[in-house]
Amino acid sequence: MKKVFHFDAPRGKYHCDGAIICCFDNRFDLSLRKFLKRRGIANPDLIKIAGGAQCLASPERHTDREFLVRQIRKSIELHGTPRVLLMVHSDCGGYGGLADRFNGDARAEAEHHGRELRQAVAFVQDAISTVTIEGYFFDFDGVWEVDLGRPIAP
């Protein structure tokens, strides 16, 4: 092999502040980084997949859920992860997009994603009871925490 880039990385045991399940849509990367910093998550285990938490709430295949739960468990086992943040975002292609799936109705989209997040949180809580589970909806104006008892709306 030929070295093409040099950097210095810490060699000590890695500890994760939170496992993050989010979509790989790059439009929300800067918002995600700033949000995680504000939430005190300096060392995240990022698990980026199309649709983010959709794969836990309404997966295309049953194995999608199993895969994500295994990844979360590995984060907990290997990195001592104390919490899991589940995320979905506005205009997600995995959900069919804001214009096509929700006819441009941002409120209907937010309510749908609130229901999806509550399902995803409940599923992970049932599968893994040793960590705190949180759910968030990203839109183009901010980040909304799902209220596990009421619908979310921006």
Instruction: Please give the tally of structural domains in the chain.
Output: 1
Residue 140 lies in a domain: yes
Q: What is the model's pLDDT at position 12?
A: 87
Residue 3 lies in a domain: no
- In tens, the pLDDT along 81-102 reads 999 999 999 999 999 999 999 9
**CATH number, domain with residue 112:** 3.40.1050.10
Residue 7 lies in a domain: no
Residue 153 lies in a domain: no
Residue 5 lies in a domain: no
Query: Encoding tokens for residue 116?
Result: 């999806």
Helix, coil or strand: residue 114:
helix
Burial class (CB in 10 A: 0-12, 13-18, 19+), 115: middle
What is the domain range of residue 48?
A: 18-145
Q: Looking at the predicted structure, is the pLDDT value of residue 128 above 80?
A: yes
Residue 38 lies in a domain: yes
Burial class (CB in 10 A: 0-12, 13-18, 19+), 16: buried
Residue 122 lies in a domain: yes
Residue 65 lies in a domain: yes
Strands (E), the chain: 18-22, 44-48, 83-89, 132-138, 143-145
Other CB atoms within 10 A of residue 18 CB: 23
Q: Between these two residues, 20 and 7, which has the higher pLDDT value? A: 20
- In tens, the pLDDT along 54-70 reads 999 999 998 999 999 99
Overall pTM surpassing 0.85 (yes/no) = yes
